Amino acid sequence: MSKKVRVAIIGCGGIANGKHMKSLAKVEQAEMVAFCDIVVERAHKAAADYGAAGAKVYENFRDLLQDGSIDVVHVCTPNDSHAEIAIAALEAGKHVMCEKPIAKTAADARRMVETAKRTGKKLTIGYNNRYRADSQYLKSVCEAGELGEIYYAKAHAIRRRAVPTWGVFLDEEKQGGGPLIDIGTHALDLALWTMNNYEPKVVLGSAYHKLSQRENSANAWGPWDPAKFTVEDSAFALITMKNGATIVLESSWALNTLDVKEAKVTLHGTEGGADMDKGLRLNGEKNSRLYTNEIELKSGGVAFYEGKAESDADMEARLWIDAVVNDKQPVVLPEQALVVSEILEAIYESARTGKAVYFD
């Protein structure tokens, strides 16, 4: 594909402005040619800030998808519309990058995966934490077998008081959940990916609404409205995999804790262990002695590409467009994101019923 990849942005809110458009603007092979938002002023602003010459603006995504010249669509909308838009885009012959999680429900996620297979179009999900320097290094360590069999992992997504009070984050109908589906999804993705284990057996979960109903709470983005806080403030799970491995998942937007860490994993294997608590540390035993190795990563987790510092979001955009141009598999496979979604849904079901949820 010698011409530039023509990209459309559907949903021109926070995540599109904070991540997708800034990073795509740095990819030489890509140009943003269409922008859509139900608040059309946002689409006009995005087109002015990031659009190629002659970029078009839409209020209805179905009108945008009729443009046969568009190669790729980025879906940056609330969770409940991911499936509808992504499936329509795939059916229209576009490759799709969808922001995480893949969908609000596992059933919607399955339909997205099936549509991508049937249409032969690429579908990937925005798990950008995989592209951090520490994540990339840890993945290479795991693939080399240096940790041996990884049989116990912790997936961390813990904030002390950082509840997102804008947009639809607190709306269960739009989002499907709170911190578990918002940031817990990143931590779980990292755990499954580094372990290369996508076969869950049983899930036991709890979700809490303990701090969400308090007035005038201290919060990084100002106090929340308890009446609008319809999602959990924290959720936790014990996940057992078919091979016997165990994953503990913890997530919170508001929790009385000083042990704060987000989108990080701790791994325990037969030959060694790893954690992301203070940079990246590896541990194990050699010559009858215990060791701890602190891995030096340039610029505190920023990766390097051709000698230049590159953020996780920039690497995500570059490798995604490269996968489209050179017809390669994307880094994040939709089948992997589907398993994340299935586990998250099982956690919510277990929390609701008080019973463990078993997978076939």
The pLDDT value given to residue 306: 61
pTM (2 decimals)?
A: 0.95
The pLDDT value given to residue 157: 98
The pLDDT value given to residue 123: 98
Tens of pLDDT along the chain (360 residues)? 458 999 999 999 999 999 999 999 999 999 999 999 999 999 999 999 999 999 999 999 999 999 999 999 999 999 999 999 999 999 999 999 999 999 999 999 999 999 999 999 999 999 999 999 999 999 999 999 999 999 999 999 999 999 999 999 999 999 999 999 999 999 999 999 999 999 999 999 999 999 999 999 999 999 999 999 999 999 999 999 999 999 999 999 999 999 999 999 999 999 999 999 989 999 999 999 999 999 988 655 566 666 567 899 999 999 999 999 999 999 999 999 999 999 999 999 999 999 999 998
CA distance 334 to 327: 16
The pLDDT value given to residue 1: 44
Instruction: Name beta bridge partners: 268.
Output: 152, 273
The pLDDT value given to residue 107: 98
Angle formed at CA 182 by CA 344 and CA 205, multiple of 5 degrees:
30
Does the bond joining 334 to the residue before it have cis omega, within 30 degrees of 0?
A: no
The pLDDT value given to residue 308: 64
Domains and CATH numbers, the chain: 5-125 (3.40.50.720), 130-307+339-358 (3.30.360.10)
For residue 293, what are its two tokens? 């190795």
CA distance 317 to 32: 12
- Listed in order, strand segments (DSSP E) in the chain are 5-10, 30-36, 56-58, 72-75, 95-98, 123-125, 150-158, 200-208, 234-241, 246-252, 261-269, 273-275, 280-286, 289-295, 303-305, 308-310, 357-358
